[in-house]
Structure 1
């Protein structure tokens, strides 16, 4: 077994672990930012009920 290849493999595995940890942290930050943006949106205005406004008046002029 080659010691240099074993050390290289160990280094690559630790770099992968660090990369995955950084990715998870970045995703968590993006999730928090998105949640904050969604919480800041105003509540939508309710649309009037169509059955209450449609058909109540008839235009009789041309």
Structure 2
């Protein structure tokens, strides 16, 4: 191998490494934006008080299981 081919190979390797670093940085930024968007959506949800399920059903429901259906 001559010096020119070694130099071009090293340059290509450095460029590939830089592209990987930039891609990783862009992906991290996208994940950060996605996380902040999800947090904003979750904080915008109304807080709902759930009543106990037994209080809303008639007393005869849920006392047996139909195993033949």
Name the TM-score, length of structure 1 as normaliser.
Answer: 0.75
- In the TM superposition, residue 44 of structure 1 has moved relative to its aligned partner by 1.6
Q: How far is the alpha carbon of 1:49 from its aligned partner? A: 6.1
RMSD: 2.0
Per the TM alignment, residue 46 of structure 1 is displaced from its structure 2 partner at its CA by: 1.9
User: Once superposed, which parts of structure 1, at least 4 consecutive aligned residues long, lie more than 6 Å away?
Assistant: none
For 1:26-37, what aligned pairs fall within 5 Å after superposition? 26-37=30-41
- Residue 16 of structure 1 and its aligned partner are, at CA, apart by 0.4
| Match of residue 62 from structure 2 | none
- Listed one character per residue, the Cα deviations across residues 40-60 of structure 1 (whole Å, up to 9, x for unaligned) are 000122214626x754xxxxx
In the alignment, is residue 41 of structure 1 matched against residue 14 of structure 2? no
Structure 2 Cα separation of the partners of residues 29 and 49 of structure 1: 38
Unaligned runs of 5+ in 2: 60-69
TM-score, normalised on structure 2?
0.68
